[in-house]
Amino acid sequence: MSLAVLDTPQAAGAAAAAVVQECVQAKPDAVLGFATGSSPLPLYDALTGSGVDFSRIRGFALDEYVGLDPGDSRSYAAVIESEVVQRLGLQPGAVRLPDVAAADLEAAARDYEQAIRDAGGVDLQILGIGHNGHLAFNEPGAALDSRTRVEELAERTRRANARFFDSPDQVPTLCITQGLGTILEAGHLLLIAHGADKADIIARALQGPVDTDCPASALQLHPRVTVVLDRAAAAGL
Ligand code: GLP
């Protein structure tokens, strides 16, 4: 595991962006895994206007809420469109998300897993981490070899994500998420975190035991992980 600690979230974003640029320069049609949430935003900021040609990349989102109206600005589809597709100048539809409008959600989850395989797998997976150690929406208790599936959100995650909604009860209760086993199949994992509120869980994930109480501890099982933190998030290491 390689670890970089930078002074600010912006500097961490720039350092993480360099990893993404290196990947795309080496493989212009790379398959990138995109995270949502606030953690990767400094990375997407740093990639914007970087001059790197992203026009041939393909992408997969980690997860998506079930139950929001199509086009809802809080959906991860909308976030990926505004923060990734528009800003990096990707082809329309270049980043795929789970089909949460499908009548059969379990089948949609299986199809998504297959689509990742059909694309040849993810070359570089960008990751944030939840306060309870969730990766994507793999909440504590998720099996380390879990696959893309329909899941319930933990109450702590719904409370954390309520900041994007008008009231906590508007936060969906269900999602489709890539599994931990799915994520671990990516060639290279890039975890970015910032802020003092992530310090405890970063230490637990990177230096604690590998178990399902902390889904992000699964990162320790992967042979190629790059962790980029600001100083506050690294304080517990
Ligand atoms: C969200 C997402 C995750 C994200 C995590 C951390 O709920 N499903 O993919 O990494 O929680 O979010 P944030 O970066 O906003 O702290």
**Ranges of each domain in the chain:** 2-230
Predicted pLDDT at 49: 84
**102 alpha carbon – ligand 1 mean position (Å):** 24
In sequence order, which ranges of 64-104 are alpha helices (DSSP H)? 76-80, 86-88
Q: Taking residues 41-56, what's their average pLDDT?
A: 94
Q: Please tell me what DSSP assigns to residue 69.
A: P
**CA 72 / ligand 1 centre spacing (Å):** 18
* The domain over range 2-230 is classified in CATH as 3.30.420.40: no
Q: What is the pLDDT of residue 221?
A: 98
CA-proximal residue: ligand 1, atom 11 (nearest): 130
Ligand 1, atom 9, residue with closest C-alpha: 136
User: 């306060």: which residue's tokens?
Assistant: 131
Atom of ligand 1 nearest to the CA of 36: 9
Instruction: Report, as an integer, the average pLDDT of 114-122.
Output: 98
Contacts 24+ apart (CB under 8 A), 200-206: 200/236, 201/129, 201/130, 201/131, 201/132, 201/133, 202/129, 202/227, 202/229, 202/233, 202/234, 202/236, 202/237, 203/236, 203/237, 204/133, 205/129, 205/133, 206/1, 206/3, 206/237
* pLDDT score of 70: 82
pTM: 0.97
